[in-house]
Structure 1
């Protein structure tokens, strides 16, 4: 609905409640981990209430409860199942990555933990590009004022922004553990392991924001079958690379090289799909039935 302020306000309120609750319940009242759990629960309930109220102000009755019909369930599954497969493939790959890194020993695991945490913090910066594509692309692809030319221009802008953001994040994200590793640890052996993976770390991080813009466009165009199949293929290929890297003794550098290949494969597959004459950005002959169905969804 192009409403970013509603979720932002809810997230801000939840963060404050969670932070204050953690301090009050854990430090002053001594409830420990149970206090942290209660603070998190209350913050989530408040955030949910605020977002429900934001929907109500737009004319919806977010408190209404209805049982979906079989047809509606099939429509939901048709949308949710491919997205679920896509998300699970990504989560599964990162889980396997952690498994192989953990098997390399305590020092290597510590270095991996530092790098994967900074990597995840940096990749968040690319998510708004995906959200922007999902918000603005549908009306250009299937709306009343449908314009594939404007959709291609929007994607071009998003990719350019993604490349710039990716390079900045790659440089900054790589420079911090390279030049200031003692922010994270003073153990020289851990620092050496961190420095061994700076190149694949940069390659994996720099391509992530433009990949988000491409995958967000595919989601907006409801090209869900391709997304789920391509992500499943990337997971299988990435898991195979991780297995080979582990068996050949390539260490943490091999694991992160597999991650870089995983990220770049996602990028090229999504780019090839969108630039294809049969892709959603060039399909001028979409039937009216298909458009109506997508508008309804």
Structure 2
């Protein structure tokens, strides 16, 4: 799809013709190693399950350094490859980190043998992958709608939107440990029917997420307001990023809270609620996006979507005790 359908997809998305050549080059490079990026995510999850966060930290840190060096070589000098050069640098870093993770898993004797899974194994995996895939697609569709709306605002606004979204994606990564904490700590408590300990753990995670949301959100806001010149020399793009800074704070804060409760909802396997809430919030955001005339407004719809999901999920978690009673009953 990436190799042969990229131009058609860009046309379908109404991408500015001036941007299509650069966009096609970028997508071709990144699409060629999409498999490696997916493998890296799987390997990272294996490390987290075994509570080894130091090994992936070392690997990802080295890959990030390689990416920065690659950007300098492929974009600035001597190659000066533009968007394609940036994608090539990221591609090389992805390949390095992916193969390094596989080697580390093999060294720890955690790398499973590749084979065709049995029907029972596929059925067991399907209980998770089916709903999670639907949830992921719904969330990706929301990002796609935001991007399409930003494309109607002009090149400068689009660049400012992209800068803001890159900052958003970077800073919300700091909330991922909260999700992993819920996914590693809560399942055992839920399966044992230990409602008291599970809810105490959830309260601790939520309290941590509040401090993280405020701190990381403030860092994102200050970066967008004080440091847009680090990412773009265009004064118009800088002005867009500065104007979007307050909404970026709100979007990052709501997302980190959402990520934290997301881990608890996945631990309790409440996929139906997650999917239903995601679909409803998707359509609400899609409706609001029609009236957005600025990057700030687009980010506001994202904050509303994540904020509503977080609020309803917290209510659901405490109202049902993370579905512990039902799980304990099924276990017995």
- Identify the TM-score tier after normalising by the shorter chain: 0.7 to 0.9
CA contact 2:179–2:263 (8 Å) conserved in 1: yes
Structure 2: runs of 5 or more not aligned: 1-49
State how 1:191-202 maps to structure 2 within 5 Å.
191-202=238-249
Report the counterpart of residue 208 of structure 2 in structure 1: 161
How far did residue 236 of structure 1 move?
1.8
Report the counterpart of residue 43 of structure 2 in structure 1: none
Find the aligned partners of 2:235 and 2:96 in 1 and give their Cα distance.
Answer: 44
Find the aligned partners of 2:325 and 2:132 in 1 and give their Cα distance.
Answer: 23
Report the counterpart of residue 214 of structure 1 in structure 2: 261
Q: For the structure 1 residues 187 and 51, does the alpha-carbon distance in structure 2 shift closer, same or farther, using more than 3 Å as the test? A: closer
State how 1:245-260 maps to structure 2 within 5 Å.
245-246=291-292, 250-260=293-303
Report the counterpart of residue 271 of structure 1 in structure 2: 314
Report the counterpart of residue 173 of structure 2 in structure 1: 124
Report the counterpart of residue 99 of structure 1 in structure 2: 148
Q: For the structure 1 residues 184 and 23, does the alpha-carbon distance in structure 2 shift closer, same or farther, using more than 3 Å as the test? A: closer
Does 1:115 find its partner at 2:173?
A: no
How far did residue 229 of structure 1 move?
2.3
SS in 1 for 2:329: coil
Q: Give TM-score scaled by structure 1 length.
A: 0.80
Find the aligned partners of 1:192 and 1:39 in 2 and give their Cα distance.
Answer: 28
Q: For the structure 1 residues 44 and 196, does the alpha-carbon distance in structure 2 shift closer, same or farther, using more than 3 Å as the test? A: closer
Does 1:83 find its partner at 2:126?
A: no
Does 1:51 find its partner at 2:101?
A: yes
Report the counterpart of residue 148 of structure 1 in structure 2: 195
Of 282, 286, 290, 2:329 maps to 286
CA contact 2:247–2:300 (8 Å) conserved in 1: yes
CA contact 2:189–2:197 (8 Å) conserved in 1: yes
Report the counterpart of residue 12 of structure 2 in structure 1: none
SS in 2 for 1:207: helix
Find the aligned partners of 1:9 and 1:196 in 2 and give their Cα distance.
Answer: 36
Q: May I ask how many residue pairs the two structures share in their alignment?
A: 282
Q: For the structure 1 residues 178 and 56, does the alpha-carbon distance in structure 2 shift closer, same or farther, using more than 3 Å as the test? A: closer
State the Cα deviation string for residues 87-106 of structure 1 (Å, max 9, x = none): 22222211211110120112
Find the aligned partners of 2:142 and 2:329 in 1 and give their Cα distance.
Answer: 35
How far did residue 71 of structure 1 move?
2.4
Report the counterpart of residue 170 of structure 1 in structure 2: 217
State the Cα deviation string for residues 238-294 of structure 1 (Å, max 9, x = none): 112112x14xxx4333322211211111211211221113632565743226xxxxx
CA contact 2:277–2:309 (8 Å) conserved in 1: yes
State the Cα deviation string for residues 31-61 of structure 1 (Å, max 9, x = none): 9588877766665455344433444455545
CA contact 2:195–2:321 (8 Å) conserved in 1: no
CA contact 1:130–1:213 (8 Å) conserved in 2: yes
Q: For the structure 1 residues 284 and 106, does the alpha-carbon distance in structure 2 shift closer, same or farther, using more than 3 Å as the test? A: closer
How much is the aligned-residue C-alpha RMSD, in angstroms?
A: 3.1
CA contact 1:167–1:206 (8 Å) conserved in 2: yes
Q: For the structure 1 residues 284 and 61, does the alpha-carbon distance in structure 2 shift closer, same or farther, using more than 3 Å as the test? A: closer
Q: For the structure 1 residues 59 and 286, does the alpha-carbon distance in structure 2 shift closer, same or farther, using more than 3 Å as the test? A: farther
Of 52, 64, 82, 1:3 maps to 52
Report the counterpart of residue 36 of structure 2 in structure 1: none
CA contact 2:191–2:327 (8 Å) conserved in 1: no
